[in-house]
Structures are given as C-alpha cells and as structure tokens.
Amino acid sequence: MTLLPQTGKPVGAGPESSERPAAWKWWVTGLLLLATMINYMDRVTLTGASVRVTSELGLSELQYGNLELAFGWAFAGGSLVFGFLADRLRIYYLYPAILACWSLMGIAAGWANGFEGLLLCRTLLGFFEAGHWPCALKTTFALLNEKDRTMGNSVLQSGASLGAIITPQIMKLLMTDQPGSWRTTFIAVGAVGFLWVIFWCLCLRPKDLEKSPSPDETIAPQGATVGLGSILVSGRFWAVALLIMGAQTVWHIYRVWLMKFLETGRGYEERAALDFNSVYFVATDVGCLFAGAVSLWLLRRYGFSAHDARRKVYAGACMLTSLSVLLPWLDKGWPLLATLLLIGAGALALFPCYYSFVQELSPSHVGRLTGLLSLWVWGVTSPLHSAFGLLIDRTHSYDAGLLLAGLAPWLGVLAMKFLWRKAENLPA
C-alpha cells in the first residue's frame, strides 16, 4: 500500500473520504474563488481611486509607485511567514484569521490622512493578503487530484478578475464629487471579508482539509520525502521561479497602472476608465478559465500529460501578452481597448499553470514552496513600480513600460525549456 509522506496514512484514505458528495470539492473551490475576489477587491481600491488619492494627498507618481513597492515587499515577507505556517498549522483556522486581518487593514486605509498613514495600511494589507495563496493552494492540493488541479486553480485564480470587475462599479456608486469620498469605498469593501469568514466556518469542518492526496499522485519511492533544500537547488525550482517572475510582471504592471494609463496617458474620463477596468478584468477572467479548460481538453483529446498541457497553455498565453508591442502605436479608441483586453486575458491565464507547476515540485512542501516563491517574486518585481513611476515622471509616457511588461512572460517559456529537467530526482 502506498503511504502518504510524513503521516503514514494510506493515500486517498482521508478521515471522511466517503462522507462528502463528489461535487463538494468544487463548491469549496468556489469558496476559494470568493476569497481571491475579496483579496483583489481590497487590493484594487487604491488603483481605482489612484488619480483622486494622488491629487488629494499631493502624491507624486513616484510616491504612488512606492505605495505599491511597500505593498509588494510586505507581501513577500508575508508569503514567507504564512507559507511556513500553512504547512504547520491547520488551514481551517489559519485561513479565516488571515482574511479577517487583511480586511481590517483595508478598512483602516479609508481613514488614512496622509502618505505615511496610507503607506502603513497598504504595507500591512500586503503582509496579510500574502497568506491567502499558500492556504488556498494547500486546500486545492488536499481536495483535487493532479489532473483536476489546473482547472481548480483556474477557478481559484478567476476570483481575482471578479474582484477587479466588481470593485470599480462599487466605486462608481460610492464616489461622489466630494473630496474624500473614496474613503467610503475602502471601508465598505474591507467589510465584505468578514462575511466570507462566516461562510467558511459554516461550510467546512476542521477534518475536511485533512484528506490525503488521491491515488494518482506520483510520490517518491516508498513514500520518501524529498528534502526542501534539495528542491530549492534544483533546476525545476528555478524554472518555476523565473516563470512566475515573468507572469507577475505583466499582471501587476497592468493591474496597478491601467487606470492611470487610460486617464492620463490616453485621455479617458474617470467613469469611462472605471467601466473599461471592469471589462478588462472580465477578459482576464475568461482567459483564466479558458486556460483550465484548454488544459483539460489537451489531456482528454490529445493525450498530453498534465505537465505538457500546462506548458502549451502557458506559451499560448505569452502570445497574447506580447500584443503589448502594438500599444505605442495605438491612440484612444477601440483598437487600443481590444488589444488591452487580449493582453489581460493572456496575463491571468499564466497563473493557473504556475500554481500547478508549484504543486508538481513536491507533495510535502506546497505551503513552503508557495511562500518562498512569493517572497522571491514580490521582492524582485515590486521595485518595478517605483521604476515605472520614475520613468513616467521623466518621460510623461506609459507606453514603453507596458510594452516590456507584456514580453516578460517569455522568460518562463525559456526557463521551463532549459531548466526543468525530467531526470531530476524529484516527485513529478
């Protein structure tokens, strides 16, 4: 009988494996989607109100970039902390505690009276929001088999788009011509997180997340666990590290700077930019779910392995983000907006592939690896926002930065080709 690493339990023999209907795991995945949605709702309030906030608080573009830098570095630190905690503490209790903390920070940002106060709130928001990802990936790893994970991770990640779709519309309703009306949005959006905590406690029991991996997991011989140190020095780990660096760059550069590009760079009015922001994230949601669906189609129709299907989906998404090369030649109008929608669809389609690659690295260190990779990528890419802001202050143009960001994901394609070696002694 195959044993689960570290626990010695038979694979697939969780304590209540027969108590839940087959569809239950997908309902829980939907709950994770809502958590991602709330995560992004709190995150993008600043983006949606960026022009108002920088104007009312007298911030430069560099200072606005520094708010995102602080958020990102705090996210990196939180990723390390919560990644290790997720492998040691019970997710059932850790997850809602983290979500409640970041919701409080989102509310507190609405009371900030200057750059320093807003900087502190956004820093703490980033720290606690980082805990969502290791907790969510531990949950999908426990509930879904290897073939279903790319689709499950697509559902999980698609919540980012939903949050970014909904929030601009909430902001349109709550923001008036009165100075400071953006604060009400920060407070209202932050309060939503406490509803999720209630649903989590009602829908799950602590033992629900103690299930063992399904029988189709590939595990090291005799259930041996590959050490974390061996994984960190492997080519596979660094392939995934470079892959997420490219994906993170395109996703977050566009997330943070899209509103300013539309309003300041192309002359759209605030309400029109907010409306397009929602449509943009509809496109990202479609791209994310399409990535999971195409991965399943390649598996079932052409017999690709789960790994090879993910690599092909990732490369296809890179082709969409590369349309950024057209942006410098596109003025205000539908060709510009259509191009942005395709770039957005490709940008979010990258992430379910990444999450599944992380889960391939090791069945025993999902939380730690998620945390370490998040520490790496947020630490490396967060300064790009300050550099982007400085570039805009000097050139008064967003075009060059957005073009380069769209090409960044190809780094992942090259890394997977040259660094992910099948012969490495790691669980595949």
Does position 316 have pLDDT exceeding 50, yes or no?
yes
Distance CA 40, CA 28 (A): 19
Q: Name every residue whose Cβ is closer than 8 Å to that of residue 208 and which is 6 or more positions away in sequence.
A: 16, 20, 28, 92
Is 406 among the domain residues? Answer: yes
Is 16 among the domain residues? Answer: no
Tokens of 234: 């492997």
Q: Residue 176, Cβ neighbours under 10 Å: how many?
A: 10
Give per-residue pLDDT as tens, 165-217: 888 888 888 888 887 888 999 999 999 999 999 999 988 888 777 655 444 44
123 vs 20, residue with greater confidence: 123
Tokens of 285: 């949601």
Give per-residue pLDDT as tens, 41-84: 998 899 888 889 988 999 888 898 899 889 988 988 998 899 88
Count up the domains in the chain and report the number: 1
At 266, which CATH number? Answer: 1.20.1250.20
Is 317 among the domain residues? Answer: yes
Is 184 among the domain residues? Answer: yes
Is 3 among the domain residues? Answer: no
227 vs 191, residue with greater confidence: 191
Q: Residue 203, Cβ neighbours under 10 Å: how many?
A: 13
Give per-residue pLDDT as tens, 2-34: 344 434 343 333 444 446 777 788 888 899 999
One-letter identity of residue 163: G
Q: Identify the H or E element spanning 316.
A: helix 306-321
Q: Which domain holds residue 191?
A: 29-210+228-419
Is 221 among the domain residues? Answer: no
